[in-house]
């Protein structure tokens, strides 16, 4: 059986994060969206500049990038890689407190992203990333964990329902110029 390691992402991993983010998002959604919308979203959301803006003031002298990533500088956002034999095969982003993408209680946590390479679907990689998110949320004493999932992503919806998430609302997610509906789901801890 293959051993999967979960590792916290650091600024030194930013290129690997960009690569896995683009690849997994493309694999997951390219068939259901126009090439123009996919390209625009991938360029806007996974640029090194976006991922590395405003990392932290303490690092500003150490890096040539003027602004380092808000996502990394925020103590309430964390990224984790899933690794197989040292290769990145998936990742997860968890937000707590004010870093959540929708207004929620400060005692909640948001799983903003869990993505796994298609070659590793069905091999429990997503489950391991999910379990890490729950572990962190419980350590932070979150009352519940929530997320948004595209209404057409039946695989992900089934995964979350299997893990006891229930629907509680909807919101709009814009991909390129296409406004799409995400189902918001949560699980009480």
Q: Helix or strand or coil: residue 125?
A: helix
E strands of 17-165, at which residues? 77-84, 87-96, 108-116, 144-150
Residue 115, both tokens: 């993505």
Integer CA distances (angstroms), 62 to 11, 13, 33, 51, in order:
12, 16, 40, 17
Q: CA 103 to CA 112: how far, in whole Å?
A: 13
- Rounded Cα–Cα distance for residues 155 and 32 (Å): 14
- Give the burial string for 151-180 (b: 16+ CB within 10 Å, else e): eebeebbebbeeeebeeeeeeebebbeeeb
Q: Let me know if 160 is a catalytic residue.
A: yes
- 144 and 111 in contact (C-beta within 8 Å)? no
Catalytic residue among 80, 91, 115, 160: 160
Secondary structure of the chain: what % helix, strand, coil (to 5)? Answer: 40, 35, 30
Return the axis-axis angle of helices 14-29 and 35-45, rounded to nearest 10°. 160
Annotated catalytic sites, by residue? 160
């Amino acid at each position: 059986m293959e051993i999967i390691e979960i590792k916290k992402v650091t600024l030194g991993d930013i290129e690997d994060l960009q690569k896995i983010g683009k690849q997994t998002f493309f694999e997951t959604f390219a068939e259901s969206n126009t090439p123009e919308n996919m390209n625009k979203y991938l360029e806007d959301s996974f640029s090194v500049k976006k991922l590395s803006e405003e990392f932290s003031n303490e690092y500003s002298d150490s890096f040539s990038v003027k602004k380092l990533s808000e996502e990394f500088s925020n103590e309430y956002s964390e990224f984790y890689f899933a690794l197989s034999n040292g290769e990145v095969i998936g990742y997860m982003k968890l937000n707590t407190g004010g870093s959540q993408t929708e207004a929620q209680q400060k005692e909640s946590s948001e799983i903003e992203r869990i993505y796994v390479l298609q070659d590793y679907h069905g091999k429990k990689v997503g489950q391991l990333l999910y379990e890490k998110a729950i572990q962190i949320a419980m350590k932070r004493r979150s009352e519940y964990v929530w997320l948004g999932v595209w209404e057409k992503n039946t695989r992900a919806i089934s995964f979350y329902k299997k893990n006891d998430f229930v629907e509680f609302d909807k919101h709009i997610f814009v991909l390129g110029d296409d406004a799409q509906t995400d189902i918001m789901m949560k699980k009480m801890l």
